[in-house]
Structure 1
Amino acid sequence: MTYTEIINGLYDLQDKDKVAFKAKKFGVISNNSLGIYHQDLKVIAKDIGSDNELALQLFDSGIYEARLLCSKLFKPKDVTEDLMEKWVKTFENWEICDSFCMGLFSKSDIASAKILEWSNRDPEFEKRAAFATLASYCMADKTSDNNLFEQFFTIIKREANDDKIYVKKAVNWALRNIGKRNIDLNRKAIEVANEILEFESKSAQWIAKNALTELQKEGIRMSDYPRAIYRIPIVKVH
């Protein structure tokens, strides 16, 4: 599919009622939106396949849904720091922020560095990008040891008092996902959550209580990463 064919196809799916519905129901407020659901964009992206040049063209169109498509068409290993900075500064809601963070940023070789850098940002969705990337990075990186992830507890505790709704939700998300990586990080994440519980802010209280509810749940599902350490191989007896 060509750029023009894709843009025309997006306009064919235009539904302004969905723009209003997404804003009211999910808090997705976006400029230049056509009103196409994320699940429909995933189908379109699957039909197109990976295409970096086309992805960049779509992003530069300024159409909201075309930018979402960019996050699904660009190859994660080709993401550069310049592109990450260009894109992160345009995020206007949690949907597009998370789409780029989960689909591209968390799979980048510089994910860890950008998580630490963006966690110091003031704009709501730039800071959310740090923790949304971290939450996904916990599952994207299947081989790194615990030391890599333990370093992120410092920024989680530091930003737990941020009362911006989409920041605190992402901080909570990141804490929970680190704690679901393996049994040792689960124990450490619970300790961190209890430390945050001592903070006075409402955001910290919510982050800690919500995380503890999930991390201490009986039968919690964990990923056992890195599996070379945390997954005991099954030995078949003949």
Structure 2
Amino acid sequence: MPARSVELPVDQAVRLAVATFEAEADPAYRDSLGPRYGIHANDAYGVKMASIQKLAKSLGRSQALADALWATRCYEARMLCAYVDDIEAVTPDRMDRWAADFDNWAVCDTLCFSLWDRTPHAFDRIHAWASRDEEFVKRASFALLASVALHGKGLLDDPFLDALTLIEPAAEDDRNFVKKGVNWALRAVGGRRRILNDEAIRIAERLAASNAPTPRWVGKDALKALTSPQLQERLAKKPS
């Protein structure tokens, strides 16, 4: 992901972003973020993702710009960070600092799915965050694992097999955004290749047999996807 230089000075780029958010603000959409999507965000304007992505293309990529946007604490500005941060400037320390600020799943998942899964630090952070207490930091571990599983073409199986050991302990966490992140990760890893599918199914079967409701839900829901005829047919066509 080559960095595109920012033509505007950082302060001007931030002002342009805020002006765009103000111009495209949709109060009705903003007010629906919580009730409809479960996104409880402070300082939101109500700007849709397509507009945020379009703005990102005009701004280019810059660590300084991303840091300045993050510091605004604005929901849309933090979503924008996923598309303007310089991937080569992402460090574990910056990932930790931003993850500690997460207050909703949308910013968490967007950074994992559109930026952090391309970094060489992804698996380290997956392991570092998997046992954290904060709901959205812990979710970030599994959202990042799912994102790497979906986007990491050509990666070896071993890091994923290692990461699958994180699933069962985390499946005990009954917080909504954690358990859904764990479920997503289990399905995504198990959808990569046969060896990972076999291991993911074994994990899902153990979870499905649990007496506790949360791991049982994680396991049963994952099993439906992992054993589906469509996935099994696709995996059969992949080299072992």
The answer (yes or no) to whether the contact 1:91–1:97 under 8 Å persists in 2 is yes
Map of 1:32 onto structure 2:
43
Map of 1:90 onto structure 2:
101
Map of 1:214 onto structure 2:
225
Letter in 2 for 1:150: L
Letter in 1 for 2:169: R
Letter in 1 for 2:31: A
**Structure 2 spans left out of the alignment, 5+ residues:** 1-7
Shift of residue 216 of structure 1? 0.7
Q: How does 1:61-210 map to 2 (within 5 A)?
A: 61-210=72-221
Shift of residue 231 of structure 1? 4.2
The answer (yes or no) to whether the contact 1:119–1:155 under 8 Å persists in 2 is yes
Q: Aligned partners of 2:175 and 2:101: how far apart in 1?
A: 18
Shift of residue 131 of structure 1? 0.2
The answer (yes or no) to whether the contact 1:76–1:103 under 8 Å persists in 2 is no
Shift of residue 117 of structure 1? 0.9
Map of 2:20 onto structure 1:
9
**Structure 1 spans left out of the alignment, 5+ residues:** 233-238
Q: Aligned partners of 2:122 and 2:223: how far apart in 1?
A: 26
Instruction: For residues 194-234 of structure 1, give each alpha carbon's deviation from its aligned partner in whole angstroms, at most 9, with x where no partner exists.
Output: 0111222211111111111011111217887xx9xx449xx
Q: Secondary structure at the match of 1:122?
A: coil
The answer (yes or no) to whether the contact 2:207–2:220 under 8 Å persists in 1 is no
Q: Aligned partners of 2:14 and 2:228: how far apart in 1?
A: 48
Q: How does 1:41-52 map to 2 (within 5 A)?
A: 41-52=52-63
Map of 1:235 onto structure 2:
none
Moved more, 168-177 or 34-43: 34-43
Shift of residue 178 of structure 1? 0.6
Letter in 1 for 2:50: Q
Q: Aligned partners of 2:141 and 2:30: how far apart in 1?
A: 27
Q: Aligned partners of 2:205 and 2:177: how far apart in 1?
A: 22
Q: Aligned partners of 1:153 and 1:86: how far apart in 2?
A: 25
Map of 2:29 onto structure 1:
18
Map of 2:5 onto structure 1:
none
Letter in 1 for 2:153: K
The answer (yes or no) to whether the contact 1:182–1:222 under 8 Å persists in 2 is no
The answer (yes or no) to whether the contact 1:181–1:223 under 8 Å persists in 2 is no
Letter in 1 for 2:117: S
Map of 1:236 onto structure 2:
none
The answer (yes or no) to whether the contact 1:106–1:136 under 8 Å persists in 2 is yes
Identity of aligned residues (%): 31
Instruction: For residues 171-194 of structure 1, give each alpha carbon's deviation from its aligned partner in whole angstroms, at most 9, with x where no partner exists.
Output: 000000011111221111111100
The answer (yes or no) to whether the contact 1:115–1:134 under 8 Å persists in 2 is yes
Q: Secondary structure at the match of 1:42?
A: helix
Letter in 2 for 1:51: S
Shift of residue 52 of structure 1? 2.4
